[in-house]
Amino acid sequence: MANKDVTDPVRMEKIVSLCKRRGFIFQAGELYGGLNGCWDYGPLGAELKRNLKDYWWRKTVQERDDVLGMDGAILTMEAVLQSSGHIGGFSDPMVDCKTCKGRFRADNLDTYECKEKPSVCPGASPKCELTEPREFNLMLQTNFGATGEQIAYLRPETAQSIFCQYKNILDSNRVKLPFGIAQIGKSFRNEINPRNYIFRSREFEQMEIEYFCRPEDGMRLTDEWLETRLCFYEEIGIPRAKLHILDVPDGDRAFYSKKTYDIEYEFPFGIQELEGVAYRTDYDLGVHAKGSGRPLEYFDEETKERFLPHVVEPSAGCDRTVLALICEAFDEEELGTDGNSDMRTVMRFMPSMAPIKVAIFPLLKKNEEQVRICREIQKSLQPWMNVFYDDSGAVGRRYRRQDEIGTPFCVTVDFETLGEETPDLKGTVTLRHRDSMEQERLPVVDLLPWLLARVR
């Protein structure tokens, strides 16, 4: 983690409160007191997350010739996780504090605060009495069959189904090295301390690519994927300046990894990992070939060589990226002068990520013709994007409500649209930009192409 203090708890509190108030994110099971480490996405959060996943899929699978998609089962066989090493080794060291009854990860104790004496770290207070660290397996287990005799696990990463289906995908799609398999899906970890809002949860989504290659290309492709992924973050509105690259040193990497970069972001609670880009060598295919007893080698038609491909893995957290998008977008802007100060809250999402792309307002809700045109515009845009119709309150207030959820454009149908006194403006609407608050007039017939060019 880079040595720079970027923490801003007040900003974080405002973000969490806005997310609840406007329906981005709620705690799972809140009605019954809440389920720790699990989150529900409300209407706006679900749209934001879907935009992110769609864009990732488009850039990673749809627009590339060398990456195929898959969608694997969440429930995972014990044998798979035995071979991958998760059953024996996927654990964090845990300690308990006998005084405050808190439970902490022993490997980053200095980031916790003791509940007994909040200003100090566990173990630092004279009152703290920590147990010896013990290993705590992070996997969530479930049972199958009428008597529950068969054990299965909720997958701790999406990667393992990719490794297990690599041969089927290779054979059924006749692909050649290098090629990747991409997957977006839920993963589950029984985290000792879920925290920092949705940053570390027990149920989360990953966006993973396993990129299979010749051994001699592994290092180069790791660097290339790092660059590709950094560009991706810029494209969705997370500037390079807020990203930090940690070249994970020997000893801190998984034993099979020859190189790992962590891509970190300046969250208001600190600089923390968004994604890992790891060169995993032939470790995964090797353990599954051994565990299953099935050959997983690749046969190179040209060189007539048979070998286990190596793997480069860019593995991103979907929820963490949603959180980074929200943190990056959140802004409070001071408007007005001479003591008439007025604070505008704006979510400056890029139009491609914004949950709602355009809001449509009749200037006067009692004007039937304005309402009719609004509804017509709404219907014509809805097959292409999320549109929000609002006719309550003053237009200024409607703008503010949209600013707060990051809608990039608002369209108002007014008297000029009807053209009774301004025939030259008939059939045009007022289009207002969220960030600059500037307004322009646009013919209704141009709205769809104008918006499509900007919101996808």
Contacting positions for ligand GAP (CB under 6 A): 157, 159, 189, 191, 200-201, 204, 206, 208, 273-276, 313, 315-317, 319-320
Q: What count of Cα atoms within 13 Å lies in the side-chain half-sphere of residue 429?
A: 26
47 vs 313 by CB, closer to ligand GAP: 313
- The closest of 193, 175, 227, 184 to 315, measured between CA atoms, is 184
- DSSP letters, 103-127, are EEEGGGGGG---SSSTTS-TTTSTT
200 vs 259 by CB, closer to ligand GAP: 200
Least Cβ distance, residue 318 to ligand GAP (angstroms): 8
Q: Which residue has the CB atom at the shortest distance from ligand GAP? A: 317
Least Cβ distance, residue 124 to ligand GAP (angstroms): 26
Least Cβ distance, residue 313 to ligand GAP (angstroms): 6
Least Cβ distance, residue 308 to ligand GAP (angstroms): 18
Residue 424, SS3 per DSSP: helix
203 vs 390 by CB, closer to ligand GAP: 203
- DSSP letters, 173-216, are HT--SSEEEEEEEEEE---SS-BTTTTB-SEEEEEEEEEEE-GG
Q: What count of Cα atoms within 13 Å lies in the side-chain half-sphere of residue 223?
A: 3
Distances (CA, A) of 252 to 249, 255, 272, 400: 6, 8, 16, 47
Least Cβ distance, residue 407 to ligand GAP (angstroms): 27
d(C-alpha 430, C-alpha 412), whole Å: 5
45 vs 276 by CB, closer to ligand GAP: 276
313 vs 390 by CB, closer to ligand GAP: 313
Q: Say if residue 383 is exposed, middle or buried (CB neighbours under 10 Å; 0-12, 13-18, 19+).
A: exposed
Least Cβ distance, residue 263 to ligand GAP (angstroms): 8
276 vs 362 by CB, closer to ligand GAP: 276
